C-alpha cells in the first residue's frame, strides 16, 4: 500500500511553524548583541567559568618621585608604555623639586595617610619609614626573581625584620680618586693603603717647590658624603658607627684636626657642579685626591679620567646614594603598585665596569648593616647643616668636630 505525501503535509507544516515560534521566542529572550549592555560600571558581559564577571574598571595609581628633568622624561615614557600594556591602570606621576622632597614633608604625608601609592625614596629613608610602619613589604608581592636579581649590597640594606621594604631603582655611590702621576712623584705606585702612606704623599706636596699650585684634597662645602668617605678611608673599623652618625671616633677626630692644622691653601672646595674645574685641576696635576659620586666621575674629561686611580678599597655603603621604589602603607592597590614597580625596574640601565659586579655582588655581613634608626635622616640634616656652617667661608674643622660630638 502506498501512502500519499499529501496526508502528511499538514503535519510537516505544523512542525515547521512550531519550530519557528520556538526560535522567535528564544531570540527575543536572549541578548545576542552583548555590546548593547549597560557598561556604566565598566564591566564586561563576558561570563567566565564560575559565573564571575571580569571587571574592566580602571584603577588609579599615584606615584611621587624627585628626579631631574631628563630622568623624569625617561620615567614618563616607560609609564606611557606601561599604561598601553595595562589599559585598566591609570598611573599619575608627580615629580617634586629637591626643595619639596625633604624627609620631613614626605614623612608628614605618610603619617597623615595622604602619601601616594608609590614613592621613590632615598635609600637611607627606606628603613626609617618601615620602622615607623609607613610602608608595606614588597617581597611577598613580587613575582619571579626580580628581588633575587638585585645585587646583594643594594638589596640587603633595604631589609628589616625579615622583610624587604624597597626595590632598588638607581644607585650612585661615592668613590675616592687619586691622581696617579702625583702619587708617583710622591713615591707611591697606588692609592695610599694607610695613614702613613697618605702622610708621605702630603709631605711631598707640602715640601715641593711648586706647592702653591698643588692641592691635597677637595672637600665641597655642600657635600657631607665626601667628608664621611675621607674619614672612613683611614678608619675602616669605625666606618659603620660614622655612617650611623654617632660621635666621631678618637682616631677620626684626630685626623680631622690634623687636616685643620695643615696650610689652608692645601685644601680646595670645588662644588660638584663645577666638574670642568675639577677636570682641569686633575689634568694639570694640581689635585691629589677627591671624592665624587660615580656619575660625576663619568662626566670628568677623558684627560682627567686617564690620570685617576679609583680606590676600590675605599668604597663604603654603595647603596646609600641611591633610591628605591616603596609602597605606602595607606595604599589600597599594592598588587597593582608592585606590578608597576616591577615594570619600571626592569628597564635596561647603563652598563658598569665589570669590577662593580664584585663589589655590589658581595654579601653584606650582618655586622656591616647599619642599625635601623628612624631618626637617622633627621641626624643627617643636622650634621649637614653644621658642615655647611663650619665650612662657609673657610674650613673650621675643629669647630665641626666639637659640634657633632
Average pLDDT, integer, range 140-158: 79
C-alpha 389 chain-centroid distance? 28
| Long-range pairs for 92-96: beta carbons < 8 A, 24 or more residues apart | 92/60, 92/61, 92/62, 92/63, 93/63, 93/65, 94/62, 94/63, 94/64, 94/65, 95/65, 95/66, 95/67, 96/64, 96/65, 96/66
Digit-coded pLDDT (tens) for 198-224: 998 898 888 875 655 788 999 998 899
Q: Backbone dihedral region of 275: left (phi > 0), alpha (psi from -120 to 50 degrees) or beta?
A: alpha
Pair 220, 270: CB distance under 8 Å: yes
Banded model confidence at residue 128, pLDDT cuts 50, 70, 90: very high
Mean pLDDT of 252-265: 89
- The CA-atom distances, in angstroms, between 318 and each of 21, 35, 146, 384 are 79, 56, 20, 19
Q: What is the mean pLDDT of residues 297-309?
A: 96
> Taking a C-beta distance cutoff of 8 angstroms, is the pair 179, 307 a contact?
yes
Is the predicted pLDDT of residue 54 greater than 60, yes or no?
A: no
Ordered structural domains, the chain, with CATH: 59-172+320-361 (3.40.190.10), 174-316+375-404 (3.40.190.10)
* Residue 189 to residues 184, 197, 201, 205, 323, Cα–Cα distance (Å): 6, 11, 11, 16, 36
The average pLDDT across 29-44 equals 35
pLDDT at 392: 87
Q: State the average pLDDT over residues 7-29.
A: 52
What is the arithmetic mean of pLDDT over 214-239? Answer: 91
Amino acid at each position: 500500500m502506498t501512502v500519499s505525501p499529501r496526508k502528511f503535509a499538514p503535519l510537516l507544516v505544523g512542525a515547521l511553524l512550531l519550530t519557528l515560534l520556538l526560535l522567535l521566542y528564544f531570540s527575543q529572550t536572549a541578548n545576542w548583541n552583548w555590546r548593547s549592555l549597560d557598561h556604566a560600571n565598566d564591566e564586561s558581559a563576558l561570563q567566565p567559568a564560575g559565573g564571575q564577571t571580569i571587571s574592566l574598571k580602571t584603577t588609579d595609581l599615584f606615584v611621587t618621585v624627585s628626579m631631574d628633568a631628563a630622568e623624569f622624561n625617561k620615567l614618563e615614557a616607560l609609564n606611557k608604555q606601561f599604561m598601553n600594556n595595562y589599559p585598566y591602570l591609570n598611573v599619575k606621576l608627580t615629580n617634586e623639586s629637591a626643595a619639596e622632597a625633604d624627609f620631613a614633608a614626605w614623612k608628614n604625608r605618610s603619617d597623615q595617610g595622604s602619601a601616594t601609592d608609590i614613592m621613590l625614596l632615598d635609600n637611607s629613608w627606606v628603613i626609617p619609614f618601615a620602622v615607623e610602619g609607613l610602608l608595606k613589604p614588597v617581597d611577598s608581592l613580587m613575582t619571579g626573581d626580580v628581588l633575587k636579581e638585585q645585587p646583594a649590597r643594594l638589596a640587603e640594606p633595604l631589609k628589616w625584620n625579615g622583610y624587604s621594604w624597597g626595590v632598588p631603582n638607581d644607585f650612585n655611590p661615592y668613590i675616592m680618586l687619586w691622581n696617579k702621576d702625583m702619587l708617583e712623584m710622591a713615591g707611591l705606585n697606588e692609592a695610599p693603603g694607610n695613614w702613613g702612606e697618605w702622610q708621605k704623599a702630603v709631605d711631598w706636596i707640602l715640601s715641593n717647590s711648586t706647592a702653591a699650585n698643588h692641592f691635597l684634597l677637595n672637600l665641597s662645602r655642600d657635600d657631607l658624603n665626601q667628608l664621611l668617605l675621607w674619614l672612613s678611608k683611614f678608619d675602616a673599623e669605625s666606618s659603620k658607627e660614622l655612617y650611623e652618625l654617632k660621635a666621631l671616633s678618637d682616631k677620626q677626630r684626630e685626623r680631622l684636626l690634623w687636616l685643620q692644622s695643615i696650610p689652608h691653601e692645601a685644601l680646595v672646595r670645588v662644588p660638584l657642579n663645577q666638574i670642568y674645574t675639577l677636570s682641569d685641576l686633575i689634568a694639570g696635576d694640581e689635585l691629589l685626591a677627591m671624592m665624587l659620586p660615580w656619575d660625576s666621575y663619568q662626566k670628568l674629561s677623558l684627560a682627567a679620567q686617564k690620570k685617576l686611580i679609583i680606590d676600590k678599597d675605599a668604597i663604603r655603603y654603595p647603596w646609600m646614594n641611591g633610591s628605591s621604589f616603596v609602597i605606602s602603607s595607606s595604599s589600597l592597590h599594592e598588587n597593582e603598585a608592585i606590578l608597576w614597580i616591577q615594570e619600571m625596574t626592569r628597564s635596561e640601565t647603563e652598563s658598569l665596569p665589570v669590577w662593580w659586579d664584585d663589589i655590589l655582588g658581595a654579601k653584606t655581613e650582618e655586622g656591616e648593616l647599619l642599625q635601623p634608626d628612624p631618626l637617622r635622616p633627621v641626624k643627617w640634616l643636622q650634621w649637614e647643616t653644621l658642615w655647611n656652617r663650619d665650612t662657609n667661608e673657610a674650613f673650621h674643622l675643629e669647630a665641626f668636630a666639637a659640634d657633632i660630638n
